[in-house]
């Protein structure tokens, strides 16, 4: 590698079906601002990793050997379609990656493998969820406590129309 060339900037975003689009959109805006690549990582906690490829993707097996479902061994097609619809108009380079195991551990490992600049995740729950409930089971909290790289936590309990306007104001 040419010493004047630097490795591409990568942002790892934790994504899952039904998640607020705010997480992927904020990660895409950040990746675009850094002229980098967005890696949308879905972690299947019902599987465990067997092997890892250099691009961060994992081959996995089900935790329950009696429940083998080939659909679980690939990135969810509905999620990929939703991300394409959300991220396509933004023009940010992105790709899906399937991970397995504990969500926080898998995202951290993927970010380490890719030497990501940052991990982006969303909050869980809604505006009525107490702070104690959020931190008790939070992937974001676990990442922030164990990671050496920055973790961006995107609030996903938008519900007021004014937040949607503020969210996109001044963004590309």
Characterize 132-149 residue by residue with b for buried, 16 or more Cβ atoms within 10 angstroms of its Cβ, and e for exposed.
Answer: eebeeebbbbbbeeebee
Q: How far apart are the first and last CA of the chain?
A: 32
pLDDT at 145: 83
Q: Grade residue 54 by pLDDT with cuts at 50, 70 and 90.
A: confident
pLDDT at 165: 40
SS3 for 13-65, per residue?
EECCCCCCHHHHHHHHHHHHHCCCEEEEEEEECCEEEEEECCCCCEEEEECCC
pLDDT 10s digits, 7-36: 789 999 999 999 999 999 999 999 999 999
Report yes or no on whether pTM surpasses 0.75. Answer: yes
CA distance to 15, 33, 115, 131, per residue, from 134 (Å): 18, 29, 28, 5
Nearest residue to 97 via CA among 7, 6, 16, 18: 16
Q: Mean pLDDT of all residues in the chain?
A: 80
- For 120, the token pair is 């982006």
Residues 6+ apart with CB under 8 A from 68: 62
pLDDT 10s digits, 112-139: 999 999 999 998 755 455 544 444 568 8
Given a cut of 60, whether residue 156 has pLDDT beyond it is: yes
pLDDT at 140: 84
- Output phi, psi for 117, to 5 deg: -75, -25
């Amino acid at each position: 590698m040419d010493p004047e060339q630097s490795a591409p900037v990568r942002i790892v975003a934790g994504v899952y079906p039904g998640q607020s689009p705010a997480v992927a959109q904020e990660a895409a805006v950040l990746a675009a601002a850094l002229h980098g690549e967005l890696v949308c990582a879905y972690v299947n906690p019902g599987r465990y990793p067997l092997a890892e490829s250099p691009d961060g993707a994992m081959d996995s097996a089900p935790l329950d050997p009696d429940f083998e479902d080939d659909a679980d061994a690939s990135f969810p097609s509905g999620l990929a379609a939703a991300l394409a619809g959300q991220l396509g108009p933004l023009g940010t380079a992105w790709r899906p990656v399937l991970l397995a195991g504990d969500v926080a551990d898998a995202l951290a490992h993927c970010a380490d493998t890719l030497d990501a600049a940052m991990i982006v995740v969303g909050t869980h729950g809604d505006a009525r969820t107490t702070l104690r409930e959020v931190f008790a089971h939070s992937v974001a909290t676990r990442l922030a406590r164990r990671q050496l790289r920055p973790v961006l936590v995107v609030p996903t309990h938008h519900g007021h129309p004014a937040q949607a306007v503020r969210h996109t104001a001044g963004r590309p």
